[in-house]
Chains A and B, each alone.
Chain A
Amino acid sequence: MDTSRSPSEASGFSRKLAATIIIVYMVVTLIPISWMVATSFKSVDSAISYPPEVFFEPSLEGYVNLFTNRSRQPKDYLDSLPPPDTWYEELVRSREMVITGPSKFLPRYSNSLIIGFGATFFSVFLGSLAAYALSRFRVPLKDDLLFFILSTRMFPPIAVAVPIFIMYRKLGLGDTHVGMIILYTVVNLSLSVWLLKGFMDEIPREYEEAAMIDGYSRMQAFFKVVLPQATTGIAATAIFCMIFSWNEYAFAVLLTQFNAQTAPPFIPTIIGEGGLDWPAIGAGTTLFLIPVMIFTVVLRKHLLRGITFGAVRK
């Protein structure tokens, strides 16, 4: 009998099986995303051709269309223009169009960044203060308070869309960055308070007590000693909050139109000639994925430790 490997080590066969399952799963998961990325590099024609093209000649048309507004011009007018200065002007000319100006994608995208990161920051900041207080102090009706905080997530947020819409109109918060940041912060807060309270409970009180004896106020002790040790929890919470506020669609459609519209309601409205401009939509979605992907990858190390809920102490 082969006793060279320990009982807990997997055998060659089960390892191969596991690898196969993971690879199949990965392919299934990645196909939609890779198709989307591929579409963003197709031309309008090849994007809607049937049967679908797996191999195609890459083009940046989608990205150019995403960032520009264009208008179709008669050929003799185009001929009368001076030769195009840039590669993208040339690309647009070849479609018998001229660029009339930048599209609204960039402002929408930056709205998404401002609102997404803003809401994440405030959810985590306010959440960590509340979590710390609930974890450390004798708050009257603490359990009821915690349940109340959680109960705000027991119905789908969109259920209160109408009252919020009316409230925001009265308060002048509709279609403003502040309004959207407040809204996403509020929706995220319950998650952030509950998650962070778990992490705060794990941090021994002795740390802040030591700091307070060493001459620091409780607030200073919180920022200098407690928060740095809650990094894991903060990272995990921030990712969840970020993903929610970044992807949120329903409220964004309802409450924003011009000034504070985020990318999710904007991207589907990119309409080309005679139908949806799929490469441009693909390009918009691809670009939309990038920040949240970077954010998650940067915080990933903490996230993994974070979801195990600080079970393993340093």
Chain B
Amino acid sequence: MAEIEIKNLHKSFGDFVAVKNSNLVIENKEFFVLLGPSGCGKTTTLRMIAGLELPTSGNILLDREDVGYLRASQRDIAFVFQLFALYPHMNVKNNLAFPLKMQKFSKTEVDSKVMEAAKLLRIDHLLKSKVSSLAGGDRQRVALGRALVRRPKAFLMDEPLGTLDAEFRELMCLELRKLHDEIDATTVYVTHDQQEAMSMADRIAVMNEGEVLQADSPKIIYNKPKTKFVANFIGSPGMNFIPIKEKITPNQSSIKLLDSSLKIPEQREGTNSNENFLGVRPENLRLVSENGVKGNIFGVEYLGSRKILTVETQLGNIKIRVDSDTQVKINEQIQFDTLNNNQIIFDGSNDMALQSEFMS
């Protein structure tokens, strides 16, 4: 197992820049998720780590050895593809044995390693089956088995659960994480699904337009996003952004919102711009009977354990998470205020979060 370090990694295809000078350190035994919308460069980054694409510039260090320009076969990593890429002309056993045949193992060694991997993934009863006869989940397991059978330095996974149905995906999330812990793997996992990322990752790197915006634990990514994009992308629904028409200065601890004043965490930085945003998560707002911001209920989404209200206000549409037994009607006038002091100010000029009492 290994540590992976990415230094100033850059990749362009002609005029299109897929990955912009990215820096990341993925620690030994870490479950690291690259998260972002499609086209953000996460898969390209992964393919460069694997050796399926060569970087335009920059370095990739695997256990402090620069492998950026080595062939995929010389890097000792394993890759799980979205469509599994199981060889259809071989049965399950041969698929699992394929990576071992290249290394000089005796036939009995190959057999025992295949058996070990198959038992670990509970597919030992399928060894003689044809790949085409397997169900989605079993294919997934065979693909994982093929990756772990030769115990590589790192596992790279490119949306491996993307083709499974929702129910099975949750189960596989758990299994993947358990497997990762059991074999002390270093895993780099690419997905666009924040739920997968949140539930499995030790750390998440959120990417957009080829740039790594933030790499932190799921909790920090969720609660203390460094940019407006991260704040909006993570969470369902994303963070509310309330426009504030005032310049924020260091040590400021309240802002004017319509005609009332709102307490915010004490700021450590000021903004460049006069038009900024107050970021607040839907669950950090609550309905109150007086002295709140007024608005009309525009929509109600019932989600079982909770309800998401969309409220039309003079500040724009705001989402509020309430208990599912809260009774509200469409067009009803309500008032709300903030539940706690977890607000974040985003500088309107660069969409970056300001340092504050809460953020630091």
Q: Does B72 contact A (CB under 8 A)?
A: yes
User: Chain A residues with Cβ under 8 A from B83's Cβ?
Assistant: 204, 206
Q: Does B244 contact A (CB under 8 A)?
A: no
- Total residues of chain A contacting the partner, CB 8 A: 18
Is there an interface contact between A216 and B102, defined as CB atoms closer than 8 Å?
yes
Is there an interface contact between A215 and B88, defined as CB atoms closer than 8 Å?
no
Q: Does B79 contact A (CB under 8 A)?
A: yes
Q: Does A210 contact B (CB under 8 A)?
A: yes
User: Chain A residues with Cβ under 8 A from B71's Cβ?
Assistant: 212, 217
Is there an interface contact between A213 and B103, defined as CB atoms closer than 8 Å?
no
Over the window 216-257 of chain A, the binary record of Cβ atoms lying under 8 Å from chain B Cβ atoms (1 yes, 0 no) is 110010000100110100000000000000000000000000
Q: Does B58 contact A (CB under 8 A)?
A: no
Is there an interface contact between B50 and A229, defined as CB atoms closer than 8 Å?
no
Is there an interface contact between A214 and B87, defined as CB atoms closer than 8 Å?
no
Q: What CA separation (Å) do A314 and B83 show in the bound complex?
A: 13
Is there an interface contact between B89 and A209, defined as CB atoms closer than 8 Å?
no
For A209, give its contact among B81, B88, B98, B150 (CB under 8 Å).
B81
Q: What CA separation (Å) do A213 and B50 show in the bound complex?
A: 7
User: Chain A residues with Cβ under 8 A from B75's Cβ?
Assistant: 213
Is there an interface contact between B73 and A314, defined as CB atoms closer than 8 Å?
no
Q: What CA separation (Å) do A235 and B132 show in the bound complex?
A: 21
Distance of A219 from chain B, by nearest CB (Å) = 11
For A213, give its contact among B77, B87, B88 (CB under 8 Å).
B77
Is there an interface contact between B52 and A214, defined as CB atoms closer than 8 Å?
no
Give the nearest-CB partner of B152 in chain A. Answer: A213
Is there an interface contact between A209 and B72, defined as CB atoms closer than 8 Å?
yes
User: Chain B residues with Cβ under 8 A from A215's Cβ?
Assistant: 73, 99, 102-103, 150
User: Chain A residues with Cβ under 8 A from B102's Cβ?
Assistant: 214-216, 220
Q: What CA separation (Å) do A295 and B170 show in the bound complex?
A: 51
Is there an interface contact between B89 and A213, defined as CB atoms closer than 8 Å?
no
Is there an interface contact between A229 and B89, defined as CB atoms closer than 8 Å?
yes
Given contacts A229-B89, A314-B132, contact A214 B81 (CB under 8 A): no
User: Chain A residues with Cβ under 8 A from B328's Cβ?
Assistant: none
Is there an interface contact between A206 and B81, defined as CB atoms closer than 8 Å?
yes
Is there an interface contact between B132 and A213, defined as CB atoms closer than 8 Å?
no
User: Chain A residues with Cβ under 8 A from B89's Cβ?
Assistant: 228-229, 231
Q: What CA separation (Å) do A210 and B72 show in the bound complex?
A: 9
Q: Does B309 contact A (CB under 8 A)?
A: no
Q: Does A130 contact B (CB under 8 A)?
A: no
Given contacts A204-B85, A215-B103, A314-B88, contact A209 B73 (CB under 8 A): no
For B73, give its contact among A204, A214, A228 (CB under 8 Å).
A214
User: Chain B residues with Cβ under 8 A from A212's Cβ?
Assistant: 51-52, 71-73
Q: What CA separation (Å) do A217 and B102 show in the bound complex?
A: 10
Q: Does B146 contact A (CB under 8 A)?
A: yes
Q: Does A211 contact B (CB under 8 A)?
A: yes
User: Chain A residues with Cβ under 8 A from B85's Cβ?
Assistant: 204, 206-207, 209-210
User: Chain B residues with Cβ under 8 A from A211's Cβ?
Assistant: 87, 98
Given contacts A206-B83, A207-B85, A229-B89, contact A213 B98 (CB under 8 A): no
Give the nearest-CB partner of A211 in chain B. Answer: B98
Is there an interface contact between A225 and B87, defined as CB atoms closer than 8 Å?
yes
Distance of B326 from chain A, by nearest CB (Å) = 48
Q: What CA separation (Å) do A212 and B53 show in the bound complex?
A: 12
Over the window 30-66 of chain B, the binary record of Cβ atoms lying under 8 Å from chain A Cβ atoms (1 yes, 0 no) is 0000000000000000000011100000000000000
User: Chain B residues with Cβ under 8 A from A229's Cβ?
Assistant: 87-89
Q: What CA separation (Å) do A196 and B141 show in the bound complex?
A: 32
Q: Does B78 contact A (CB under 8 A)?
A: yes
State which residues 261-311 of A face B: CB under 8 Å. none
User: Chain A residues with Cβ under 8 A from B146's Cβ?
Assistant: 210, 214
Give the nearest-CB partner of A231 in chain B. Answer: B89
For B99, give its contact among A204, A214, A217, A231 (CB under 8 Å).
A214
State which residues 166-218 of A face B: CB under 8 Å. 204, 206-207, 209-217
Over the window 16-60 of chain A, the binary record of Cβ atoms lying under 8 Å from chain B Cβ atoms (1 yes, 0 no) is 000000000000000000000000000000000000000000000
User: Chain A residues with Cβ under 8 A from B72's Cβ?
Assistant: 209, 212-213
Given contacts A225-B87, A314-B88, A314-B132, contact A216 B81 (CB under 8 A): no
For B79, give its contact among A213, A216, A225 (CB under 8 Å).
A213
Distance of B291 from chain A, by nearest CB (Å) = 59
Distance of A247 from chain B, by nearest CB (Å) = 32
Distance of B151 from chain A, by nearest CB (Å) = 13
User: Chain B residues with Cβ under 8 A from A204's Cβ?
Assistant: 83, 85
Q: What CA separation (Å) do A211 and B81 show in the bound complex?
A: 12
State which residues 99-115 of B face A: CB under 8 Å. 99, 102-103
Distance of A53 from chain B, by nearest CB (Å) = 53
Distance of B95 from chain A, by nearest CB (Å) = 10
User: Chain A residues with Cβ under 8 A from B88's Cβ?
Assistant: 229, 314
User: Chain B residues with Cβ under 8 A from A209's Cβ?
Assistant: 50, 52, 72, 79, 81, 85
User: Chain B residues with Cβ under 8 A from A213's Cβ?
Assistant: 50-52, 72-73, 75, 77-79
Over the window 139-151 of chain B, the binary record of Cβ atoms lying under 8 Å from chain A Cβ atoms (1 yes, 0 no) is 0000000100010
Binding site for A on B (CB under 8 A): 50-52, 71-73, 75, 77-79, 81, 83, 85, 87-89, 98-99, 102-103, 132, 146, 150
Between-chain CB contacts (< 8 Å), 25 pairs:
A204-B83, A206-B81, A206-B85, A207-B85, A209-B72, A209-B79, A209-B85, A210-B79, A210-B87, A213-B50, A213-B51, A213-B52, A213-B72, A213-B78, A213-B79, A214-B102, A215-B99, A215-B102, A217-B71, A220-B102, A225-B87, A228-B89, A229-B88, A231-B89, A314-B88
Can you list the 5 inter-chain pairs with the closest CB atoms, starting with the nearest?
A: A206-B85, A214-B99, A215-B102, A228-B89, A210-B85
**In the complex, given contacts A209-B50, A215-B73, what are 16 additional A-B residue pairs having Cβ atoms less than 8 angstroms apart?**
A204-B83, A206-B81, A206-B85, A209-B52, A209-B72, A210-B81, A211-B87, A212-B71, A213-B73, A213-B78, A214-B78, A217-B71, A220-B102, A225-B87, A228-B87, A229-B88
